Amino acid sequence: MAGLIGKKIGMTRIFTDEGRAVPVTVLQAGPCPVLQVKSGAPDGYRAVQIGFGGKKPKRTSKAELGHAAKAGLDAAPRLVREFEPDEGQEYVAGQELTVGIFDVGERVRVIGVTKGRGFQGVVKRHGFAGRPASHGHSMSRNPGSMGAGTDPSRVIKGKKLPGRMGGARRTIRNMEVVRVDSERNLLFVRGGVPGSRNSHVLIRR
């Protein structure tokens, strides 16, 4: 399978046999039931549709309940995503995918949404040093001069300016799987993962 849907639990550290501390992010990966297997003929592309979590019945539409019932599920998943299937691998609606599809030492990519920081200035958003703040300088954190002279008499596109920071989809590639806990559906990957605690992530090979 190309990947799983998971949830970021938080960060901790584990120790190797040599005594080295390894910073890891703990992800709850799966279990993810297969909702639908899309073939090339009616859909126009090949994909495996999987779900994660469960919705309350009062917050679920009849269409979502019917789609989940076709796969033999009692509740509609909270999150639904599609992955491209592996070559030669067969999937069936109702099949459950767990964290056991990953191995220790394997490299994965984790996709998440970064923490939203709201509207921020150039010092926090882009790391500007600011201007001298002696004697109570009132504009020590502003971006400074922006113009490019008489020609072209405008601010050049792409200039770093204040604006909305965070809340963007980001992918961290080549993350190492340090530990797999199949009993608790936990995946330990080395390093940090975008997003806050309890945010959803996609884990792909």
Q: What is the CATH number for 108?
A: 2.40.30.10
Among the ranges given (76-85, 139-148, 165-174), the one the predictor scored with the smallest mean pLDDT: 139-148
Find the mean pLDDT for residues 136-160.
86
Residue 64 resides in a domain: yes
> What global pTM score does this model have?
0.82
Domain extent at residue 88:
3-133+159-204
Residue 143 resides in a domain: no
Beta strands in the chain (DSSP E): 3-15, 21-29, 32-38, 47-52, 79-83, 96-97, 107-113, 118-120, 163-165, 169-181, 186-190, 200-204
Residue 11 resides in a domain: yes
Side-chain-facing half-sphere of 43: CA atoms under 13 Å: 11
Residue 145 resides in a domain: no
Find the mean pLDDT for residues 29-43.
85
Residue 181 resides in a domain: yes
Predicted pLDDT at 173: 95
Predicted pLDDT at 172: 95
Question: In sequence order, which residues have a C-beta less than 8 Å from that of residue 140 and are 6 or more positions away?
Answer: 130, 131, 132, 133
Provide Rg for the chain, Cα atoms.
Answer: 23
Residue 140 resides in a domain: no
**Per-residue pLDDT tens for 61-116?**
999 999 888 888 888 999 899 888 877 778 888 888 899 889 999 999 999 999 99
Residue 146 resides in a domain: no
Residue 142 resides in a domain: no
Domain count, the chain: 1
